[in-house]
A and B are shown apart, each in its own frame.
Chain A
């Protein structure tokens, strides 16, 4: 029995097409399961190109044809069969009572073959077959009883990726590789990839939606994701320029902040940076501060803190491409062809302009900002003015002086309020 029911697929198109609401999504977008960022509907997937050709012929008869370029708005839904054990490969695609699933694309993932199929308008699945020979049986169970996991949901205008276990996540590690701090690859192997060709399997593995704002493809580089790593690839030669482990924290933009962490407030020292507001409240986990939309509980901002976040050797996210060094340090840290300087809470980082990798921490900054009129933050009761200024600025009953992030501040001893910025000393 054929596993791929392409003929039925055509029927499925006909059936589901009219149901597609606004962004018809174009079945032409059927390549990689993940909606393509800025791909403009080009069928880059190997499997997808065949589909594309086939579908185009039929698509032209449908309303969605002109909208094929809006790959991100696909209305395809696929249901994914999770093969938990090596022997449980689910071959069955067609089910009673449901529109048959359609093979949209196929790609290899290690020893597995993954077929991505649309299940219904809002669900997309990938069926992973560990062993081609094993899947000869037909599974006639209704879909909800099947061992199926949704791979991505179309929700609120975008696809939210889930891992093979149905959790909102970046992706899962191949069986056998523990989820380590540094992704699924054994540590040594990851480094060796730099300078090598991007593995073919990842060519079409576009970034999870939530990362695309941070890492945008451009004329020089494109970004792909695989096995817990984000790959930055040189367009000229398809060689990996850098890679960034994404698995340290499964929490990212657009994902649900776990309720288990909801009491983990931001450490006191960061609170002045991240005060809770009506539109966003902040929690801290895994070395990151998360800005959360109070209405939906979804993460809308991720700020990696020094200790767990951008470290030396990591890739600077796209959002930091502009020079943003705080004023008091600008004379000291200027961009040059040898080094760029970028600020993120907690530090000024030195970045290699060629690779965008953080090469060192140029300067540490305290996360707490001082502001005139505000109380002196906790932890500054000890006099800390640098040597060169001590003879000039010393504590008296009338005024205190404290140093923070490049400035000396005057503080009123009675009220403990910061009364003035005295000078910049960098």
Chain B
């Protein structure tokens, strides 16, 4: 996985170059700082599987570099199966150049500002009497509820996705996994 290492190196350099970007260990996030999990020192872009649909989609939309930037972002990553589940071959048509605007719209719907852990969502749901609204980079919102111990996200088109794993820490945010692609409702 040379590419991972290269990205890691680039990310490390970027972090080093940025100066005051304090990580927990007080250093500049290089591997040598001895953090327990390697994840904290990799950017989100570096921690994701380069062959996954999500990463390919991010590349197609020009957002792969973004996820290697300072962020921090909370990224909800749909599984490859989730893309396959999209209706009418949308999973493939989205990757075409003419769909870039729509793809970007959908991807930015999966990126939330700041670092939100699964627990944080849970607490907000409890404080909100059973549901909470989450802002996304794209501008539209997600509604989060708890269903049988899992966190379920409802998108503005009415679709639902369940958080199936998360809190994967990265140097510039956190990654959670969802089992469906969230689709914002049509703009106009």
Contact = CB atoms under 8 A, between A and B. Distances in A.
Interface of A: 180-182, 187, 248, 261, 264, 267-270, 284-287, 305-309, 311-313, 329, 331-332, 346-347, 350, 358-368, 377-388, 390, 402-405, 425-426
A377 B40 CA distance: 29
B120 A306 contact: no
Given A361-B62, A386-B72, A367 B139 contact: yes
Contacts of A332: 18, 70
Interface of B: 18-24, 40, 61-66, 69-74, 97-98, 100-102, 104-105, 108, 111-117, 120-121, 123-124, 127-128, 132-141, 144, 169, 173-174, 187-188
A388 B23 contact: yes
Nearest to B170: A387
Nearest to A349: B62
Majority secondary structure, B binding face: mixed
Q: Is the interface of A mostly helix, strand, loop or mixed?
A: loop
A361 B114 contact: no
Across the A-B interface, give the 8 residue pairs with the lowest CB-CB distance, nearest first. Answer: A312-B62, A379-B135, A384-B114, A307-B105, A403-B114, A360-B65, A382-B124, A269-B139
A343 to B, nearest CB: 13
Given A308-B105, A383-B123, A387-B115, A362 B135 contact: no
Given A381-B127, A386-B114, A361 B63 contact: yes
A366 B40 contact: no
B106 to A, nearest CB: 9
B188 A284 contact: yes
Contacts of A382: 116, 120-121, 123-124, 132, 134, 144
A386 B115 contact: yes
A288 to B, nearest CB: 9
Given A285-B187, A287-B101, A307-B101, A386 B66 contact: no
B35 to A, nearest CB: 11
Contacts of B121: 382
Nearest to B17: A332
Contact of B66 (A307, A364, A425): A364
Contacts of A248: 101
Given A368-B135, A385-B114, A311 B124 contact: no
30 contacts: A285-B188, A287-B101, A313-B62, A329-B70, A332-B18, A347-B66, A350-B65, A359-B62, A361-B62, A361-B63, A363-B70, A363-B71, A364-B66, A364-B111, A366-B113, A368-B135, A379-B133, A379-B136, A382-B120, A382-B123, A384-B116, A385-B114, A386-B72, A387-B72, A387-B115, A387-B169, A387-B174, A402-B114, A404-B113, A425-B21
